[in-house]
Structure 1
Amino acid sequence: MSKTSQHIIFDMDDTLIHCNKYFDLILGDYFEWMTEWFQPYGVTTEEVRAKQMEIDVAGIDKLGFASANFPQSLIDTYHFFGRIHGRDSSPKEEELLYQLGLSVYEQEIEAYPGMVETLERLREEGHCLHLYTGGETRIQKRKIEQMKLADYFEDRIYIRQHKNITALEEILGMGSFVRSNTWMIGNSLRTDVVPALTAGINSIYIKQQREWQYNLVELKQEPHNVLYTVSALTEVPEVIEEHLT
């Protein structure tokens, strides 16, 4: 195969920049508060963790990556255990939980190792880079600006509250994408890999050591296009180069 310029679509959160670790930090504080408040009722951290994840995932399925979903999941979990154990809720505690949840979006942004080198190399090799991220425009734009990602993606930046096959197909329909020369790079099986396989484009799955439960789904379809799995962002250029050789 001749080396043809590729359209490479990157996910952002936990592909180019850290994200989940900040949620884990906030949840650590949350679990401490909840087990302290519900200690008389024998509520365990694992029980709180399981219920919060269930409520959080249900909210994302319904509302997409809305910023209010995470703090609301903390409050709804608090209400759930209050109801089943007969503990009255407190407006003060609810406000503490909501502000704790919102604070995850104020964390300092940190790039994954090799982010700049990876993007620089792919751009120098003549590939066209795109950024496709899920979340609210205001929050995601702040991350993009802090990381100066527009230097690499220019106007090819797509922010969607719902990140699924419908959103991906809309993006693919906006440009001159040749699907056999188009790649989706991301850490989420649910929102990156499965939509890419469904849309008939190539995909590189960056498997993280500790992944958010929401992202983990079973790959039911046999890929009719290219699917690679790597463990680091820096492996992406080599995979694409070898595929084109």
Structure 2
Amino acid sequence: MNNIRHQHLIFDMDDTLIYCNKYFNLILDEFITLLSGWFKEYDLAMDDIRQKQIEIDVAGVHVVGFASEHFPASLVETYRHFSRLYGRPLDDSEERQLKLLGSSVYEKEVEPYPGMVNTLESLRLAGHTLYLYTGGETAIQQRKIDQMKLSSFFGERIFIRQHKNITALEEIITTQLLPRQDTWMIGNSLRSDVQPALQASLNTIYIKQELEWAYDIVQLQTGSEQSFHTVSHLTDVPDTIHQHLNIYDNEQKRTWG
């Protein structure tokens, strides 16, 4: 490990280091059950509720980014859509109930992915510099960071942004003076993590999760000069990086004789 070339590793947080989407899905299941009961006489299908919420949710994130009020608002807007569609009167108490339900997702206890501490510790011990780059509101994301004691790994190298895109990533690369050939983006979102990293010519590791948010799924635009890897588990990250570096260094030795 001591001979491994020093790298700069930028980690996403939600659904890369800690669980996130599963809590939103639990709230959505409760919301869909609630709405199907309210609209029982109209035979409103659960799948129709789910698809409309996804449509409203994804469209809104493009506009407001990862704002905390957006998810509760998407539940209310889905409710209003079907109320208008079927001519069912809107009810203020029902809307308040939906807002509270949506907001409750941010009160869930934080849970790390298996091997989070060991993965970060092994990379730090290997001599690499770690950075945290997460999307959302500062207060909510900082609470998660504090609960997981992530500053012990990332120090002051923590970046919270309302929008995660190529502009935000380039700002981090520029201000931190990161060498692109020795910098990695590690995350679960094709849209927010992988695509911007490929555009920025960073090495990229995509951690594919079973529960993917519809917003995260995009068709990648290829063409990056840097490496792109897909893994299934966070614990696969250190070996993926070090194997890549060994292959690269061996190729360079052959090239230069």
TM range (shorter): over 0.9
What's 1:174 paired with? 175
What's 2:18 paired with? 17
What's 1:194 paired with? 195
Mean Cα deviation higher: 170-179 or 91-100 = 170-179
Give how far 1:3 is off: 2.8
SS at match of 1:35: helix
Q: Which runs of 5+ in 2 are unaligned?
A: 247-257
What's 2:81 paired with? 80
What's 1:29 paired with? 30
Tell me the distance in 2 between the aligned counterparts of 1:210 and 1:30.
Answer: 18
SS at match of 1:185: strand
Tell me the distance in 1 between the aligned counterparts of 2:9 and 2:140.
Answer: 23
Q: Is the 8 A contact 2:134 2:159 kept in 1?
A: yes
What's 1:136 paired with? 137
SS at match of 2:68: coil
What's 2:95 paired with? 94
Give how far 1:219 is off: 1.0
Tell me the distance in 1 between the aligned counterparts of 2:40 and 2:172.
Answer: 49
Tell me the distance in 1 between the aligned counterparts of 2:185 and 2:144.
Answer: 20
Instruction: Please list the CA deviations of residues 12-52 of structure 1 after superposition, one character each: whole Å capped at 9, or x if unmatched.
Output: 00000000000011011100110001111111111000000
Tell me the distance in 1 between the aligned counterparts of 2:78 and 2:243.
Answer: 48
Give how far 1:221 is off: 2.2
SS at match of 2:238: helix
- Could you list the runs of 4 or more consecutive aligned residues of structure 1 that deviate by over 4 angstroms after TM superposition? none
SS at match of 2:74: helix
Give how far 1:167 is off: 0.6
Q: Is the 8 A contact 2:22 2:211 kept in 1?
A: no
What's 2:238 paired with? 237
Tell me the distance in 2 between the aligned counterparts of 1:14 and 1:189.
Answer: 12
Tell me the distance in 1 between the aligned counterparts of 2:183 and 2:158.
Answer: 15
SS at match of 2:57: helix
SS at match of 1:70: helix
Tell me the distance in 2 between the aligned counterparts of 1:162 and 1:141.
Answer: 16
Give how far 1:220 is off: 2.5
SS at match of 2:15: coil
What's 1:126 paired with? 127
Letter in 2 for 1:99: L
Letter in 2 for 1:239: T
Tell me the distance in 1 between the aligned counterparts of 2:199 and 2:190.
Answer: 12
Give how far 1:84 is off: 0.8
What's 2:64 paired with? 63
What's 1:151 paired with? 152
Mean Cα deviation higher: 216-225 or 234-243 = 216-225
Give how far 1:141 is off: 0.1
Give how far 1:72 is off: 0.1
Give how far 1:176 is off: 1.9
Q: Share of identical aligned residues, percent? A: 57
Give how far 1:186 is off: 0.2
Instruction: Please list the CA deviations of residues 67-117 of structure 1 after superposition, one character each: whole Å capped at 9, or x if unmatched.
Output: 000000000000000001000110000000000000000000000000000
Q: Which has the larger radius of gyration?
A: 2
Tell me the distance in 2 between the aligned counterparts of 1:43 and 1:61.
Answer: 28
Give how far 1:223 is off: 2.9
Tell me the distance in 2 between the aligned counterparts of 1:184 and 1:207.
Answer: 14
Tell me the distance in 1 between the aligned counterparts of 2:60 and 2:231.
Answer: 30
Mean Cα deviation higher: 32-41 or 148-157 = 32-41
SS at match of 2:19: coil
What's 1:217 paired with? 218
Tell me the distance in 2 between the aligned counterparts of 1:157 and 1:60.
Answer: 22
Count of matched residue positions in the alignment of Structure 1 and Structure 2: 244
Q: Which runs of 5+ in 1 are unaligned?
A: none
